[in-house]
Amino acid sequence: MSMKKALPYLILAGLAAAGCLLAEDKLAGGPYVINVTQRSATVAWVVDGGAAVLSAGGKMVKSSPALRIEKSQFTGLQPGTSYNYEIPGHSDATGTFRTAPAAGAAFQFVAYGDTRTRDDVHRKVVEAILKYAAPDFIVQTGDMVADGSDSSLWPTFFDIERQLLRKAAYFPALGNHERNDSFFYQFFGGKAYYSFNWGNAHFTVLDSDLPNVAPTEAAREAFWAEETRWLEDDLQKAQTAEYRFIVAHHPPMTAVAKRQNDNPHMKALTPLLEKYKVTAGIFGHDHNYQHYVKNGVHYIVTGGGGAPLYDVAKANPKFLLKAISTEHFVTVSVGGKSAKLQAIAVDGSTLDEFALK
């Protein structure tokens, strides 16, 4: 759907030809907003088309819903503008988002990840974000659910995230627990890696989950070579941005004892990040908070979204500034040529705070 003129309220109607959401359909997720730029956005929602049931010995073993994604694309929007939207047939299916602003405008984003288990803790993290932050958009560092191919898990994820997703644009990275499954691509925009601009900042979101990319080593190496070439080209083109952020699931360094040197492909990227003066890399995978600085690049691990916590027993003292094993999220507030990162625990206390330069 395109628009000749931007409207303050986007009503998703007239979608019958594309398979419109009927009143009897059950919402399994959303609505939420993806692929947001200065001039465009996609409003999406997930529909539960009914569940298949497995049984054995006369007893139900498991039910799994048939999920489908519905999307409506809007163009001709105005930069830095807040829009409300509603889904026809569901009086409570409303939300708001803000388009990307022009360079120099102030904004805030939230980053967190590894929400895949302990739903009660995941819910507390989301509640804390709603209480202590006001993001223009959300960066998710991956591992949203325990198994991305299991359709029964996604409705729970979307239920926990519901209020947050209706307030800000969403930019996720692939985690290993997404299993490179088609659900991720259907729900969140169809790309394994991508980049976007927001104000005077450039964001590059990578697919670091090589084991699930392809069944053979040769195919995985080819994928990574292509992605690395794309990354360098993307960073070259972004040198006029005041800030450059890398987002991926797997971190290049870690304090977790059992994961030392687990991600050599990501570690090999660090000279490239230094060459193109990346401001910060934001990662997940390790269920804790970590902050390093190496040759001018900040490396943040924010994997405290709900999955069982990991130790921080093997931190490298040469580059480490902070390592805490606790549930949390990260806010980054950008105002023109100044920016500040805060790591915030679920009780609202500040775990870490520093300026980004």
Q: Which residues pair with 112 in a beta bridge?
A: 140
CA atoms within 13 A on the CB side of 203: 27
Q: Cα(26)–Cα(45) distance, rounded to whole angstroms?
A: 10
Q: Cα(219)–Cα(217) distance, rounded to whole angstroms?
A: 5
**What single letter denotes the amino acid at residue 271?**
P
Confirm or reject CATH 3.40.190.10 for domain 101-355, answering yes or no: no
Across the range 140-166, mean pLDDT stands at: 97
Looking at the predicted structure, is the pLDDT value of residue 13 above 90? no
φ, ψ at 43 (rounded to 5°) = -90, 130
φ, ψ at 92 (rounded to 5°) = -95, 5
**Cα Dmax for the chain:** 65
Assess contact for 114 and 76: CB atoms under 8 A: no
Per-residue confidence (pLDDT) for residue 21, from 0 to 100:
45
- The CATH 3.60.21.10 domain(s) of the chain lie at 101-355
Assess contact for 3 and 77: CB atoms under 8 A: yes
| Fold category of 1-99 in CATH | Immunoglobulin-like (2.60.40)
pLDDT single digits (tens) 177-202: 999 999 999 999 989 999 999 999 99
Looking at the predicted structure, is the pLDDT value of residue 20 above 90? no
Across the range 69-76, mean pLDDT stands at: 96
Find the range with the poorest average confidence among 68-77, 149-158, 211-220, 312-321. 312-321
Q: Which residues pair with 329 in a beta bridge?
A: 344
Q: Which residues pair with 340 in a beta bridge?
A: 333, 355
- The CATH 2.60.40 domain(s) of the chain lie at 1-99
pLDDT single digits (tens) 260-291: 989 999 999 999 999 999 999 999 999 999 99
Per-residue confidence (pLDDT) for residue 14, from 0 to 100:
36
Q: Cα(296)–Cα(311) distance, rounded to whole angstroms?
A: 26
Across the range 242-262, mean pLDDT stands at: 96
Torsion angle defined by CA atoms of residues 179, 166, 238 and 229, in that order, rounded to the nearest 10 degrees: 10
Identify which of 279, 50, 87, 248 has the alpha carbon closest to the alpha carbon of residue 165.
Answer: 87
How would you classify the pairing of strands 243-247 and 82-86? unpaired
